[in-house]
Structure 1
Amino acid sequence: MKSALTYTGIESLSHWSQILTGDELKHIQNQIISHRLKLSFGHHLIKLGHLSSALDTSSCLIKHQVNVAPSPAVLDLNIANTNKADANPINLFSEFDELALATNSVDLVLMNHELEFSNDPHQVLREVHRVLMPGGDLVLSVFNPFSLFMLSKIWPFKTKSSLWQARMFSIGRIKDWLDLLGFEIIEQEYCCYSTLFLKNKELNKEAANKSFSNWLQLGFKKYLPKFGSVCIITAKKREWPLTPIRSRNSFKSAFQPAVSRASSQSAKVKNSDN
């Protein structure tokens, strides 16, 4: 398997507003993820990254929730329309490839768009697998390279945004990583078919554009579901018990013909009668 390790400096996203139509993207993902979180139980929920920390997870039955980030979010004055709702307090600062958490200590991990900005995404998933308890869940959202978003990313006349440096991995490759680490894919869902392709002003300028966006969302979801800009994957950590293989000699019994066994049993009966 080809390594995804790179030494190029990549800066992860610190606000949803750094993404075109970030508010709409956040809203759609929050709806899907909230439904997934209602099915999870346990004691500890970890939200990795600033985008994950900004999501509303109040519907989750796990009440102890910790926001984890690699470094404090730096306020960039060049970012327009910064959403103050994204400024959620970070409870723990830790590098994602070396999480400062005990092994088998977390019941649920939520991670939104962190693999695309990681130097070693496979190591990040390996650390998530380490801290999750057996049977724990991972809810992961990633950008889909085979989508309208990818077309807008390579469009030559489009101005560069914060997503320009994002590393795009195919959904199949990410699922292979999860399977290799011992995760079981429970569910995957594509969404945001036009949210990243159209600009905010195009979505909200007129009701006609809004209805066109809804029509585009429904059409792609029905006929081309795998062309969504975002894929949300739910995976469960599985650890199968290892049963030692017993020696074949222990199962062998001495060969004894049926006639010999019958004669020996009759002899035992006679001896007992005497």
Structure 2
Amino acid sequence: MVTDLFGYQLLQLGELGSDTAYLAQCPVRNKTLISHRPDAGHPEVIVGASQLLPITADSIDAMILVHTLDFSPDPHQVLREVERVLIPEGRVIVIGFNPYSLWGLWRLFGRWRGSLPWCGNFLSYPRMNDWLTLLGFGVERMDVMEFRPPTKSNRFESIERVGRRVWPMLAGIYVVRAVKRVSRITPVGQRWSRLRVLGPRAIEPHAPAPGHSAMDWPPMEDEPRKRGFG
């Protein structure tokens, strides 16, 4: 999903230990990592919170969220920040764990240990798609993987092949790519005449001068203020 991304700035959010070799296939010129903790082995990494990115608005061409939402205390705020920093027609790739899978079942028994990844809050991709749609994104592509149980055994290769064709909703991991849509409709507002703010004497009521009617009488600036009008 990264081979046809384009632009000048790509931003990846996630743990520093995640594999970034696939970024070599991405043609985007500058690639930056953001993590919530520093790492001596990655001095070029920006340390910052994903809920409040230290990035100016409309400045990033593409973003990759490597299980960022699974371990964020406020995943919806993270997506709002993604929408803020992406340029119009910018792309975001979200990698997440599916709670309705064997991985999600494993999480029910291993969460109490507090170990990764079972301590995270797995978000289903139907909910992910709903959040992206509410923020104005359009889902372009989606892929799934890991139908087997979360073990190191290689005896479940057949389950992986069959699962992609038969029950993709039960995959352990999903990848969603979406584009930031911008409305092309220009709202037409009602035309208002310019409001002129006048001094207090200009709106004070006066009585018409003798010999003049109320229709042709102009207010006199030097006329004394009448009692009863503050």
TM bracket (short chain): 0.7 to 0.9
The question of 1:237 aligning with 2:180 is answered yes
Q: Show structure 1 runs of 4+ deviating over 4 A.
A: 87-90
The question of 1:47 aligning with 2:12 is answered yes
Tell me the distance in 1 between the aligned counterparts of 2:150 and 2:75: 28
Q: Which structure's CA Rg is the greater one? A: 2
Structure 1 199/244 Cα, relative in aligned 2: closer, same or farther at 3 Å?
Answer: closer
Tell me the distance in 2 between the aligned counterparts of 1:173 and 1:224: 18
More helix by proportion, 1 or 2?
Answer: 1
> Which letter does structure 2 place at the counterpart of 1:148?
L
Q: Give the corresponding residue for 2:37.
A: 71
Tell me the distance in 2 between the aligned counterparts of 1:148 and 1:176: 23
8 Å CA contact 2:9, 2:60 repeated in 1: yes
Post-superposition offset of 1:199? 2.1
Q: TM-score, normalised by structure 1?
A: 0.64
Q: Give the corresponding residue for 2:97.
A: 143
Give CA-to-partner distance per residue, 1:66-115, whole Å, 9 cap, x none: 111112259xxxxxxxxxxxx54442111111111111000000111011
Aligned 1:1-274 pairs, distance under 5 A? 36-50=1-15, 54-56=19-21, 57-73=23-39, 88-155=42-109, 161-194=115-148, 197-200=149-152, 203=153, 210=154, 212-245=155-188
Post-superposition offset of 1:50? 1.9
Tell me the distance in 2 between the aligned counterparts of 1:53 and 1:103: 26
Post-superposition offset of 1:244? 2.7
Structure 1 132/42 Cα, relative in aligned 2: closer, same or farther at 3 Å?
Answer: same
Post-superposition offset of 1:215? 0.7
Greater relative contact order structure (CA < 8 Å, 6+ sep): 1
> Which letter does structure 2 place at the counterpart of 1:48?
L
Q: Which runs of 5+ in 1 are unaligned?
A: 1-35, 75-86, 204-209, 248-274
Q: Give the corresponding residue for 2:197.
A: none
Tell me the distance in 2 between the aligned counterparts of 1:141 and 1:198: 17
Tell me the distance in 2 between the aligned counterparts of 1:173 and 1:148: 19
Structure 1 185/114 Cα, relative in aligned 2: closer, same or farther at 3 Å?
Answer: same
Aligned residues: 189
Identity between Structure 1 and Structure 2 (%): 29
Structure 1 119/223 Cα, relative in aligned 2: closer, same or farther at 3 Å?
Answer: same
Give CA-to-partner distance per residue, 1:138-169, whole Å, 9 cap, x none: 0110100111111222247x966322321122
